[in-house]
Structure 1
Amino acid sequence: MAEEKIIKHAGDAARALLKKEHSWKKKLREFFFEIFIIVVAVSITLWFHNWNDHLHEQRLARDFLVGIRADLKVTADKLAEHRHDYQHTLDYYDAIWKQISENRIDKAYMDSLSGNLTNMVGFTFDNSRFESFKSSGNLRLIENQPLMQNITRMFTVTLPDRVASDRMIFEERRNQYITYIGTRTPFGPRGNSLISGYTNDPAIRFQIMWQRDLLNEMKDQKLLVAEEVGKLMAEIDAELKR
Structure 2
Amino acid sequence: MQEEITKHSEKIYKTVKNSEHTLGEKVKEIIIEIFIIVFAVTLSIGLHSWSEHKHQQDEVAVFLGNLKNDLKSDIKNIDIEKEAYKKSNIGYENILALTTLQLDSIYKSKDKVDFPIYSHGQMISVGNYEGFKSSGKIGYIEDEKLKQKILSYYQIYVPAINEVDKMYNDFLFKCFDKMIENADKSEEKLYSDPKFKKTIEFLVKLGNNNIRVYDQNTKPEAIELIKAIEKELNK
TM-score by length of 1: 0.82
Q: Do the aligned residues in 2 keep the contact of 1:151 with 1:232 (CA within 8 Å)?
A: yes
Identify the match of residue 216 of structure 1 among 200, 208, 217: 208
Which residue pairs with 2:147 in the alignment?
A: 148
Q: Deviations over 1:139-190 (max 9, x none)?
A: 11001112112212222232123223212321222124423x5534768xxx
Which residue pairs with 1:5 in the alignment?
A: 4
Which residue pairs with 1:241 in the alignment?
A: 234
Change (3 A) 1:211 1:186: farther
Q: Deviations over 1:104-153 (max 9, x none)?
A: 66838x93412x1x432223333222222112211110011121122122
Pairwise CA distance, 1:217: 1.3
Q: Is 1:113 equivalent to 2:114 in the alignment?
A: yes
Q: Do the aligned residues in 2 keep the contact of 1:123 with 1:162 (CA within 8 Å)?
A: no
Q: Is 1:160 equivalent to 2:159 in the alignment?
A: yes
The gaps in structure 1 that reach 5 residues or longer are: 188-192
Which residue pairs with 1:134 in the alignment?
A: 133
Q: Do the aligned residues in 2 keep the contact of 1:147 with 1:235 (CA within 8 Å)?
A: yes
Change (3 A) 1:198 1:32: closer
Q: Do the aligned residues in 2 keep the contact of 1:76 with 1:226 (CA within 8 Å)?
A: yes
Name the amino acid aligned to 2:133. Answer: K
Which residue pairs with 2:181 in the alignment?
A: 183
Q: Do the aligned residues in 2 keep the contact of 1:79 with 1:123 (CA within 8 Å)?
A: no
Name the amino acid aligned to 1:183. Answer: E
Change (3 A) 1:141 1:130: same
C-alpha separation between the residues in 1 aligned to 2:164 and 2:218? 12
Compare 54-63 and 168-177 and name the one that shifted more: 168-177
Which residue pairs with 1:205 in the alignment?
A: 197
Name the amino acid aligned to 2:234. Answer: K
Change (3 A) 1:182 1:23: same
Which residue pairs with 1:194 in the alignment?
A: 187
CA RMSD, Structure 1 to Structure 2 (Å): 2.7
Name the amino acid aligned to 1:54. Answer: H
Pairwise CA distance, 1:54: 0.9
Q: Deviations over 1:77-127 (max 9, x none)?
A: 221222233432122123333445xx866838x93412x1x4322233332
SS in 1 for 2:17: coil
Which residue pairs with 1:32 in the alignment?
A: 31
C-alpha separation between the residues in 2 aligned to 1:42 and 1:198? 83
Which residue pairs with 2:46 in the alignment?
A: 47
Change (3 A) 1:153 1:140: same
Compare 225-234 and 51-60 and name the one that shifted more: 225-234
The gaps in structure 2 that reach 5 residues or longer are: none
Which residue pairs with 1:190 in the alignment?
A: none
Task: Quote the sequence identity (%).
Answer: 24
SS in 1 for 2:43: helix
Q: Do the aligned residues in 2 keep the contact of 1:9 with 1:34 (CA within 8 Å)?
A: yes
Which residue pairs with 1:91 in the alignment?
A: 90
